[in-house]
Structures are given as structure tokens and as C-alpha cells.
Amino acid sequence: MLRLYDAELSSRLLLGTARYPSPSILTAAVKASAAEVVTVSLRRESGGERAGQGFWSIIRDLGVRVLPNTAGCHSVKEAVTTAQMAREVFGTTWVKLEVIGEDETLQPDVFGLVEAARILCKEGFEVFPYTTEDLVVAERLLEAGCRVLMPWGAPIGSGRGLNNPFALKTLRARLPGVPMVVDAGIGVPSHASQALELGFDAVLINTAVSQARDPVAMAGAFAQAVAAGRAAYEAGPMEPRDLAVPSTPVIGQALLR
């Protein structure tokens, strides 16, 4: 079981809800993924169209936990206010905290992130900080009160997989007891497997599913990859080596030269 704050979860796949071809495909993809947590956001609502109301009804019908994000926030103030608004609307103390530092890479502003995390943890939020693979930043986030970390694999929506597996391995090894969800940059199921094989507790996927030619089938593929990666981690992968080792026994081999 995966434990994220007070939640015990069977699935190690968290799914984003953005950029699907239609609401029905989103619904089918969430079901195919077996995700028990989906990310959501807040945007301006028009009093005439009330588009957000329909979306919220679809999500509520799924019966999953929601993890509201602070996507698009560039300052501590914006992120904190957005989190406060999300807590009221979604009725959860969970927040995926994003403080964006640079527009082209959507790289987290880790200084603002730590500051916002400290404020929100004091206000009773359960913060899921979207951060880099930097170990010292991770330690500062834990000091600020975070009990889950979300290091990036690669820039949001890039689909590049784990850009820095060495640093991610270090992060995992140095903070063994902290639940960590690799968030962002995962493009194909093998990337998700890799994250789980390295000992990360879960992955958060959005674009790789929603922008696939068949999002529902891809959601299922990710579910299998995540389960396989976790099973492999628990089974204890072999250590890689540079030279070959014959797998077939050499003792008793016939001399036919």
C-alpha cells in the first residue's frame, strides 16, 4: 500500500485531468488507469457558461480523491491564495504546490516553493511540493513541514522521462522514508517503470496519457508499467556490471573442438 498523508492507496499512479480529447475519454482513462487520485485546478469561471460546474460534477462522479494544484502561480502570494481557494472549493487540505520560476522550462522556483510550503503547512495544508531532484531543497521542504515530495522527471509536458536518474537515485537513497511521487516529464510507460524500479513510490502522469492517440489504452498501459516497476523494486533488481557473465553453467560443457 502507498501512504500519502492520511490516505492509503492501492494504485501508485496519480493521473492529471487536463488536455483530454473529451470529458468521456477523461472518465474512461481515469477508470482504465485505476488511479485513486487525480489532479485538478482552479480557473476563472464565467457566470454565464459556468463550465467549471460541469467538470466538477464529472470528477465527483468518479469517486476518486482530488489533488488541487497551484499551476501557473509564479509567486508565493499567488500560490498561497490559490491553495486557500482550492481548499474551500475542493474540500481537501491536499495541495500540489507549484511555484513556477521560469516560463520556458516551467522549472520550480524552489526558493518560493519552500517559503510557500512553510506558510501552507502552518495553515494545516498537506502539501505535495512540485520540486526538482535537488537533495538540499528536498530537506528544506521536509523542514517546512511537507511529508510527501514530488520531484520532477523532466519539464512538464516534455515527455523526456527521467532526465537525471543519478540525482533521483541519490535523493531516494538519502531520504528513504519519505513518500516521493515523480511528477512531470514522463512520456511513455517505460519511464514510469524506471521511476518505480528506482524506489520512487508513485508517479503522476498527465500529458503522456491525455495526448496519446488512444488515451484510454495508454492509461491502461501506464497502470501495468507502474505495477511492474513496483514489483521489480520489491523483488530487488540485480546490479548492472560492465562485462558479460554466462547465464548457462559452464561446468559440464562438452569439448567439441
Partner 1 sequence: MQILVNGASREVRAADLAGALEELGYGGAVVATAVNGEFVAAAQRPAARLAEGDRIEVLAPMQGG
Q: Point out which residues bind partner 1 (CB under 8 A).
A: 16-20, 26, 39-48, 50-53, 55-56, 59, 68-69, 71, 77, 81-82, 84-86, 88-90, 156-157, 204, 206-207
* Residue 142 Cβ vs partner 1, minimum distance, rounded to whole Å: 24
Nearer to partner 1, 52 or 165 (CB): 52
Nearer to partner 1, 71 or 138 (CB): 71
Catalytic site residue from 31, 77, 96, 169: 96
**Cα–Cα dist 20/18, whole Å:** 6
* Residue 132 Cβ vs partner 1, minimum distance, rounded to whole Å: 17
* Residue 99 Cβ vs partner 1, minimum distance, rounded to whole Å: 15
Helix H or strand E encompassing 29: helix 23-33
Instruction: Report CA Rg, the chain.
Output: 20
| 3-class secondary structure per residue, 231-247 | HHHHHCCCCCCCCCCCC
Q: 204, 135, 219: which is closest to 170 by C-alpha?
A: 135
* Residue 168 Cβ vs partner 1, minimum distance, rounded to whole Å: 20
Which three three-digit cell numbers place residue 98? 507549484
Which three three-digit cell numbers place residue 200? 520512487
What distance, in Å, lies between the first and last C-alpha atoms of the chain?
56
Nearer to partner 1, 47 or 249 (CB): 47
Nearer to partner 1, 46 or 253 (CB): 46
Please identify which residue in the block is written with the cell numbers 487540505.
Answer: 93
- Is residue 96 part of the annotated active site? The answer reads yes
Q: Active-site residue numbers?
A: 96
